[in-house]
Amino acid sequence: HTLIATESGQVYAFGVCSSGQLGIGLQQDKSPLTQVKFETNIRIIDVATGKHHSAAVSETGQLFTWGEATWGQTGHGTQTMELVPKLVDYFE
């Protein structure tokens, strides 16, 4: 799967989505670009992909992850698959 972060702070995804790694709310592969929805007024500055999970960082340093979590790779403290971006609650 592939994620694209635009200069305006939006994120688009396409490709395999068997584990929710596109962050579009579905476990369905997508070939056209599909926008990944975040909270309002969130500007994403960087994205990363793992095999079955994804991550994004906002301009204010917030970390969002989604996708497969069998081994805790989303950082949410659960093994629950996330189909849309979820803020990682962590302490600095």
Report the distance separating Cα 7 and Cα 89, nearest Å. 26
Predicted structure pTM score = 0.92
pLDDT in tens, 13-50: 999 999 999 999 999 898 899 999 998 889 999 999 99
Chain position carrying tokens 């969002």:
64
pLDDT in tens, 53-83: 999 999 999 999 999 999 999 999 999 999 9
- What band does 90 get if pLDDT is binned at 50, 70 and 90? confident
Report the distance separating Cα 31 and Cα 70, nearest Å. 26
